[in-house]
Structure 1
Amino acid sequence: MANDVRLVGRLTGEPALVELPSGDALVTFRISVPRAALPAGPGVGTTAGQRVDSIPCTAWGPRLRRSILTWRAGDLVEVSGAVRCRFFQAGGATRSRVEVEASAARIMRRSSAA
């Protein structure tokens, strides 16, 4: 069994540094990745016309956080890590979020937009 993810896509916005109530810090960011074409048929398909998925990602390690915070919206990036389901309290309710926890990340090409 394995929980290994590799994403290559565009950064959808500026990464954000988040400090948790515990004092821990993480960086959150989203990557837009193209969807592969699926065969047509009953029960198979995607939201009509959806060509990309926006994947939420986090980075916990100090060195990786510093590197990701230099990224700009539109950069083409590669992220490796694992899928995680994180639980947290918000508005008096327990909520969950599925995200990719990055263990490695790099810029493949900077965005031409400044």
Structure 2
Amino acid sequence: MLNRVVLVGRLTKDPALRYTPNGVAVANFTVAVNRPFSNKQGDQEADFVNCVAWRRPAENLAQFMNKGSQVGVDGRLQTRSFDNQEGQRVFITEVVADSVQFLESKKNNQGSGQSSNQSPPPNNQSDEPIDISDDDLPF
């Protein structure tokens, strides 16, 4: 069996970062993904896909990306359910992101007319996200 989802789109709002009671980071976000065709009026439509990222990818997403940022999401589709306050069963389908790729730098997403007089970070470090997955880490 195969359950794999790959999306490229833009964040519809800033990622919502929170922490579980055990201190594990989780970020919920929605990606607007253009459909590969136009409707009868010639307009391009989009799907709005709910996603969730965990741990360090969640923290990186919340720190470096904001509304309008272009991202690539690689993950799996998951459906869960719960009973709401009215006792009704609610089903949620979302993409659980194994990795989130930042497809543009934060500087490119800040809009025109904004400039920064900040000096570069010490030790040649930059605030740019690095493209690394958890599988690449030695620990």
Q: How many residues align?
A: 106
CA deviations 1:42-97 (Å, max 9, x no partner) are xxx89x9561111100012x111111112111111001000110112321332111
| Percent sequence identity over aligned pairs | 32
- Comparing both structures, which one devotes a greater share of its residues to strand? 1
Contact 2:49 2:94 in 1 (8 A): yes
- How far apart are the structure 1 equivalents of 2:103 and 2:19? 28
Aligned twin of 2:45: 51
Structure number having the greater helix percentage: 2
Q: Deviations over 1:9-44 (max 9, x none)?
A: 001100002456897652100000010228xxxxxx
Secondary structure of 2:103's aligned partner: strand
Q: Is the 8 A contact 2:79 2:94 kept in 1?
A: yes
> Larger relative CO (CA 8 A, sep 6+): 1 or 2?
1
Q: What one-letter code is carried by the residue in structure 2 that aligns with 1:55?
A: V
Aligned to 1:36: 36
Unmatched tracts of structure 1, length 5 or more: 39-44
Amino acid at match of 2:27: V
Task: Give the structure 2 partner of residue 63 of structure 1.
Answer: 56
RMSD, aligned α-carbons: 2.7
Return the match for 1:86 from 65, 80, 84: 80
Q: Which residue of 2 aligns with 1:11?
A: 11
- Rg (Cα) greater in structure: 2
So what's the TM-score if we normalise by structure 1? Answer: 0.77
Q: Structure 2: where are the runs of 5+ without partners?
A: 115-139
For residues 21 and 89 of structure 1, the distance between their equivalents in structure 2, rounded to whole angstroms, comes to 21
TM-score under structure 2 length normalisation: 0.65
